[in-house]
Amino acid sequence: MNELPLLSALVAVPLIGAVVVASIRRENADAARWTALGFSGLVALIAAFVAIGFDYAAGAPWLQFTESYAWVEAWDLNLSWGVDGIALLMVLLTVGLTPIAMLAAWRDLDAVKRSVPAFFALILALEAAMLATFLASNVLLFYFFFEAMLVPMYFLIGSYGTGAKKQYAAVKFFLYSLLGGLFMLVAVIALWVNNGGVFDWQTLVDTEAMADGTLQNWLFLGFFIAFAIKAPFFPFHTWLPDAGGAAPAAVAALLVGVMDKIGTFAILRYCLPLFPDATQTFAPWIIGMSVIGVVYAAFVAIGQTDLKRLVAYTSIAHFGFIGLGIFAFTQASATGAVLYMFNHGLATGLLFIVVGFLAIRRGSAQIADYGGAAKTLPVLAGIFLFAGLASLSLPGTAPFISEFLVLFGAFTGNEPVAVVATLGIILAAAYVIWMYQRTMQGDRNPALDKMPAMKRDLTLREKALVAPLVIAILGFGFFPQPLIDTVEPAVDNTLLFISGEPGDLPAAEGVTNE
Amino acid sequence: MNEAQQAGLQIDWAGLAPMIIVFVAAFAGLLVEATVLKARRLVVQVSLAVLALAAAFAAVVMNAGKNSAAFEIEGVGIGSVVLDGPGLFLQGTLAVLAIIAVLLLAERRTTRGGDFVAEAAVVADSAADRAQRREPGATEIFPLTLFAVGGMMMFVTAGDLLTMFVALEMLSLPLYLLCGLAKRRRLISQEAALKYFLLGAFASAFYVYGMAMLYGFAGTVDLAGINQAGTDSGQPRMFLYIGVAMIAVAMLFKAAAVPFHMWTPDVYTGAPTPVTALMAACVKVAAFGGLLRVFNVGLASSAWDWHLILTVIAVATMLGGAIFAVTQRNIKRLLAYSSIANAGYLLIGVIALGEAVGQTMFYLAAYGFTVIAAFAVVSLVRDGDEEATHLARWAGLGKKSPGTAVVVTILMLALAGLPFTSGFTAKFSLFSAALQADELGLVIVGVISSAILAFPYLKVVVLLWLNEPAPDAPTVNLPSPMAGTVVAAGVAATLVLGVAPGFLLDIVDQASIFLNT
């Protein structure tokens, strides 16, 4: 399967697209929209080829489709790409959500005088950077894109966001992430210095070039803080409600749906295999943080008055579940955590997009500005309820499977924790149902009748873009097996490091395209 | 001369060629002032300076690989001028950065007659001063710049303290003058010049006293000899301590390290912006070139004695520069404090000694290009004839002049150390060298300082893109090809060194060994 550099193409095509779209003149807004959509469609097509060619068998090489091109030899920095089952799922999520987010934001900029080409170019640049972080198999290369990703997101929030606090939110997001990234940078350098100048992930894993004792603990913390801020885990979460609240809804869907998964993805890809002892040392603390996060964020979500901030807080609760799943170290819980990452992207992405539909109609995301809205917007209200129920993990929707697996896996390892975390499910029902009730049901807010937009139900474009998400949530709710089969080999490989038997790893695909 | 020949003195003229070219061109520039018609002087002076610096650069390249003293008596080097890897690399860097700075000095289109005053001796804000505002600026600035650059080239290759002192004065005196030549806000400019001169004179005095102490300790001013004495000398070690401390004060003053940084914001703000660019880029290179040589060649054997105090200074410089930068409202002051913080990072490279010489030089080159471009952009954004240096005036620049705003954004992200810019590659290589030298604590402070410093840089980006422009927003004056070249070269170097740093990393790797270490 190595004939075509598909993974390079996955990074290069959106990047080229960003440059092309950015060079379109401001006046030709429609040309920019369609070009951007075309590029993101092309990326999705390439990703589909990767998914088709991927070897799902249990003994298959861990990283597949590997490519490697020399870049800066003095640092062992290579353009090395590779994909495993976890990364594949994340890539599919990214390439799927990006065009949907573009469609969702299709007309959002009509009201404000902002450059449409720049907006879509930034989304494509963001897509390229996010894909690169999932595909990179070189620690420094990963770091490059991990940090570079901040720039397009910063402008998307700060320049195209809504609300008075958008600049504050953008700066907070940037500085928080940068601070975490710099701690990771120290750890990256220290890892490099202590391993004789190796950055290649496969080599690091094969040679088990792990630092010992104290140093490993510090390196783990350096990486983990960066990822915990990115995810974000409690108590590193305070930037997310601001950023999610200020970002345009479609961008928030990408921010929470995909970008935050890079944090949890990177924990699985880097923290566990490279620092297994430290991972186990800190696991009880992280599980504790996760469980606090689940309950705390759910309570805070109940009290929110702004829809986007509310959804952001629900996500923090969900990230607690993901953290619990990863650090419980059972196959079921870790598989569940990875599925959670994927399903949460679908459900919360949908929720953010629907909130965006509401906000653009009403001109506000404040819950108090709604009330009884379902009367004139029956379809929108239905989708809203569906997205809400999916995000509270109703059986029959995809997130149920993942939440069940996480709790099931955690329960076999650590009963009290699982019991406390289960509280999160109840609280989730509370914030979702109450949110729906206050906005869609009950006494109709008289102000809504004065707004013609609030009587316009979903347009064809809006229906078309939510349809794939609804189908995916339902489809994977009833048939989760393909997802489980995709991630299980990679999860098993990762967990071998925790059980101390990395010798059982499948042989690496020893071919590089140099 | 005869005696010297009898003694077998051999002089490596080719090795001295870069300095000779620059100094000869500087004297020729003085003659141009006396002979060429006023209307043609600018063209002649600029071409002379650029050609001389380019020739000096070519001469440096021809010397590449040399590792010897320029003056030898019967095959034994006497250390006054040392041609080794670091010295030659820094000379080359200085030549290139100086070419860029000269082009910026020559900019005349953004404001009528350029940024420099015609007659500096005229009383500020008097009637005569107002009258000369329409006249083109003095062209003596070019020979002055050449003298300063020649001094810097000598400073980074000086192998004994005495030569180094001559070079220090040589590079400082023209700069004191240049600082006072701003056409706008003359009083501030003159204040800057006086402040720089007085404090610089203090620093020089410290240097001379320090040199005397070290001579007392080692019996020689030769750096290699002092190093030898660090282990052998029977003199009281107190001489060494006092000597190192005083020399360090003088050099850290030039490098703008806390607590010797007080002059930096005022002088950077008061000096004409092209001169500020010259100082921020070239003087930094020279000062750290000197520091690297003194500490690596002369004081490596006494590393234990100065390690702690230099570490304290580095920490104070990194944190002080970053924290003060946060509150700045003036772009030139912001860049001044950022330059202080960067001096702190570079000090890490000095403290790490031999492990980090190459990486420190890489940082100097990378930072020099970025900062010169940053000051070049500052000189383009204008309220009428005056530079709009207050940050509030930059609000919404992205709407009216997106090109300039993109350039500033790239430069700010580079200074903040984002990947794909030279700021990242420079920090990465410097910090990794420091970790190899077991300076974990300093690296962590460096990282914290970088994170703090990212905030003011980001504030500029926010202002550019996310704020609405004021109705009377400043205009970005279209630069002449010269200032345009400066900006383009700086941004190009920032990006190239960020994306493909390999070639320069190889060069500094080969050029990182001092003679006599």
Task: Let me know if residue A510 belongs to a domain.
Answer: no
Whether chain A has a CB inside 8 Å of the CB on B415: the answer is no
Task: Let me know if residue A261 belongs to a domain.
Answer: yes
Task: Let me know if residue B308 belongs to a domain.
Answer: yes
- State whether B454 and A175 contact (CB < 8 Å): yes
Residue with tokens 């940082």: B363
Residue A311 vs residues A173, A178, A345, B317: alpha-carbon distances, Å:
17, 24, 12, 43
Going by pLDDT thresholds of 50, 70 and 90, the confidence category of residue A4 is confident
pLDDT tens-place string over residues A494-514: 888 887 766 666 655 544 433
**Does residue A197 or residue B148 have the better pLDDT?**
B148
Task: Let me know if residue B288 belongs to a domain.
Answer: yes
Q: Which of A144, A167, A190 sits opposite B420 (nearest CB)?
A: A144
Peptide bond into B469 cis (omega under 30): no
Whether chain B has a CB inside 8 Å of the CB on A198: the answer is no
- Whether residue B5 is predicted with pLDDT greater than 60 in this model: the reply is no
Greatest CA span in chain B, whole angstroms?
76
- State whether A150 and B506 contact (CB < 8 Å): no
Pairing of strands B381-383, B475-476: antiparallel
Count CA atoms within 13 Å of residue A327 on its CB side.
Answer: 29
Tell me how far apart the alpha carbons of residues A122 and B465 are, in angstroms, rounded to a whole number.
Answer: 14
pLDDT tens-place string over residues A324-337: 999 988 888 899 99
Task: Let me know if residue A506 belongs to a domain.
Answer: no
- The secondary structure of residue A200, as a DSSP letter, is B
Do B476 and B401 meet the contact criterion of CB atoms below 8 Å apart?
yes
Q: Which of B418, B435, B509 sits opposite A189 (nearest CB)?
A: B435
Tell me how far apart the alpha carbons of residues A337 and A487 are, in angstroms, rounded to a whole number.
Answer: 10
pTM confidence score: 0.89
Do A154 and A170 meet the contact criterion of CB atoms below 8 Å apart?
yes
Tell me how far apart the alpha carbons of residues A147 and A274 are, in angstroms, rounded to a whole number.
Answer: 20
Task: Enumerate helices (H) and strands (E) in chain A, giving the number of each.
Answer: 22, 2
Whether chain B has a CB inside 8 Å of the CB on A168: the answer is no
Going by pLDDT thresholds of 50, 70 and 90, the confidence category of residue B422 is very high
Chain B residues touching residue A148 (CB < 8 angstroms): 418-420
- State whether A186 and B443 contact (CB < 8 Å): yes
- Whether residue B182 is predicted with pLDDT greater than 90 in this model: the reply is no
Task: Let me know if residue B177 belongs to a domain.
Answer: yes
Average pLDDT score over residue span A94-98? 92
Q: Give the ranges where B437-513 is alpha helix by DSSP (H).
A: 440-466, 481-499, 502-510
Question: Which of B182, B147, B198, B169 shows the shortest CA–CA distance to B272?
Answer: B182
Q: Which of A71, A144, A189 sits opposite B431 (nearest CB)?
A: A189
Burial (CB count <10 Å: 0-12, 13-18, 19+), residue A295: middle
- State whether A189 and B428 contact (CB < 8 Å): yes
Whether chain B has a CB inside 8 Å of the CB on A299: the answer is no
Percent of chain B with pLDDT over 90: 52
Non-local CB neighbours of B19 within 8 Å, separated by 6+ positions: B56, B150, B153, B154, B157
The number of domains in chain B is 1
Whether chain B has a CB inside 8 Å of the CB on A72: the answer is yes
**Does residue A496 or residue B495 have the better pLDDT?**
B495
The number of domains in chain A is 1
| N-to-C CA span, chain B | 31
For residue B281, give the amino acid letter: A
Residue with tokens 């192998």: B159
pLDDT the model gives residue A511: 42
pLDDT tens-place string over residues A206-220: 776 566 778 888 888
Whether chain B has a CB inside 8 Å of the CB on A143: the answer is yes
- The secondary structure of residue A176, as a DSSP letter, is H
Whether chain B has a CB inside 8 Å of the CB on A171: the answer is yes
Whether chain A has a CB inside 8 Å of the CB on B443: the answer is yes
Task: Let me know if residue A201 belongs to a domain.
Answer: yes
Query: How high does pLDDT run on average in chain A?
Result: 86
pLDDT the model gives residue B7: 64
Question: Which of B178, B180, B181, B176 shows the shortest CA–CA distance to B199?
Answer: B176
Residues forming beta bridges with residue A70, ordered by sequence position: A78
Do B366 and B425 meet the contact criterion of CB atoms below 8 Å apart?
yes
Tell me the ipTM for this assembly.
Answer: 0.85
Question: Which of B435, B439, B411 shows the shortest CA–CA distance to B423?
Answer: B411
pLDDT the model gives residue A504: 65
Which pair of tokens denotes residue A381? 């209200």
Tell me how far apart the alpha carbons of residues B213 and B34 are, in angstroms, rounded to a whole number.
Answer: 44
Residue B377's domain comprises: 2-510
Average pLDDT score over residue span B190-201? 93
Whether chain A has a CB inside 8 Å of the CB on B418: the answer is yes
Burial (CB count <10 Å: 0-12, 13-18, 19+), residue B40: exposed
Q: How many residues are given for chain A?
A: 514
Optimal mutation site among B461, B496, B503, interface A, most CBs of chain A within 10 A: B461
Which pair of tokens denotes residue B501? 């740093």
CA dihedral B281, B284, B286, B288 (to 10 degrees): -140
pLDDT tens-place string over residues B276-320: 999 999 999 999 999 999 999 888 888 888 889 999 999 999 999
**Does residue A440 or residue B318 have the better pLDDT?**
B318
CA dihedral B333, B339, B341, B342 (to 10 degrees): 160
Do A37 and A465 meet the contact criterion of CB atoms below 8 Å apart?
no
Query: How high does pLDDT run on average in chain B?
Result: 89
Whether chain A has a CB inside 8 Å of the CB on B500: the answer is yes
Instruction: Give the count of beta carbons closer than 10 Å to the beta carbon of residue B513.
Output: 15
When mean pLDDT is compared across A221-225, A413-417, B429-433, the lowest value belongs to A413-417
Q: Give the ranges where A64-149 is alpha helix by DSSP (H).
A: 85-104, 116-135, 139-148
Question: Which of A42, A54, A32, A36 shows the shortest CA–CA distance to A10?
Answer: A42
Helix orientation angle between A331-362 and A378-391, rounded to the nearest 10 degrees? 150
Non-local CB neighbours of B267 within 8 Å, separated by 6+ positions: B179, B192, B193, B195, B196, B276, B279
Peptide bond into A506 cis (omega under 30): no
Non-local CB neighbours of A284 within 8 Å, separated by 6+ positions: none
Find how far residue B191's CA is from the centre of its chain: 21
pLDDT the model gives residue A510: 46
Chain A residues touching residue B443 (CB < 8 angstroms): 186, 189
- State whether A186 and B447 contact (CB < 8 Å): yes
pLDDT the model gives residue A41: 92
Phi, then psi, of B83 in degrees rounded to 5:
-105, 95
- The secondary structure of residue A61, as a DSSP letter, is -
pLDDT the model gives residue B465: 83
Task: Let me know if residue B335 belongs to a domain.
Answer: yes
Non-local CB neighbours of A299 within 8 Å, separated by 6+ positions: A427
pLDDT tens-place string over residues A250-295: 888 899 889 889 999 999 998 888 888 888 889 889 999 899 999 9
pLDDT tens-place string over residues A17-33: 999 988 888 888 888 88
Which pair of tokens denotes residue A47? 């990703």
Task: Let me know if residue B515 belongs to a domain.
Answer: no
Question: Which of B62, B65, B58 shows the shortest CA–CA distance to B86?
Answer: B65
Question: Left if phi > 0, otherwise alpha if psi is -120 to 50, otherwise beta: which for B28?
Answer: alpha
Task: Let me know if residue A511 belongs to a domain.
Answer: no
pLDDT the model gives residue B249: 92
Task: Let me know if residue B517 belongs to a domain.
Answer: no
